[in-house]
Amino acid sequence: MWGIPALIFLIAFLHRAAPGVLAKELMQAFGITGTVVGLLSAMYFYSYAGFMVPGGVLIDSLGPRRVITAGGAVMLVGDELYRVQGHDLDVVDTTGAGDVFRGAFIDAYLRGEPPPGILRFANAAAAVSCTRTGAIDGVPTRDEIDRLLSTTSG
């Protein structure tokens, strides 16, 4: 029961500790001070904290199904905004959907997909994962993702 929260804490701890280990090299390589290294390493937590309240309010008021389905995925590349509509599926469990999204995003990116294709693939993968219970059992196969993509437009 405590394995997943402990793993999440470990990852957060590594995010906090990693810049400290590389601080001297970062300061020398980029000609910056320790203050700048600290500020840059804290940006992850500022953005994370900034999205906690609006995300919680949306999920509490609209429910996770509506937030995930209606939200879709948004990505900004340069000065272009890409938006992909969510999939209207029966949500069983959202555990692991963000991890599946990130993994599929990286997969599509490494395959050389353009930004809209990357988002469509990652969004479909996360949608399929929400139709199952659990994080590991929720990870879809490539065929399952492609099957969902073939039934939707866009």
Task: Compute the distance between CA of residue 1 and CA of residue 14 in angstroms, rounded to an integer.
Answer: 22
Longest dimension (CA), the chain: 53
Backbone angles phi, psi at 77, to 5 degrees: -125, 115
Q: Given 60, 90, 93, 99, which residue is catalytic?
A: 99
Backbone angles phi, psi at 108, to 5 degrees: -65, -40
Task: Compute the distance between CA of residue 10 and CA of residue 30 in angstroms, rounded to an integer.
Answer: 28
Q: What is the pLDDT along the chain (154 residues), one digit of tens a residue?
A: 456 656 666 776 776 677 777 788 888 888 888 888 877 777 766 766 777 777 778 778 887 766 665 555 555 566 677 788 888 888 898 888 888 988 898 899 899 999 899 999 999 999 999 999 988 888 999 999 999 999 876 5
Strand (E) or helix (H) holding 121: helix 115-129
Concerning whether 137 is annotated as a catalytic residue, the answer is: no
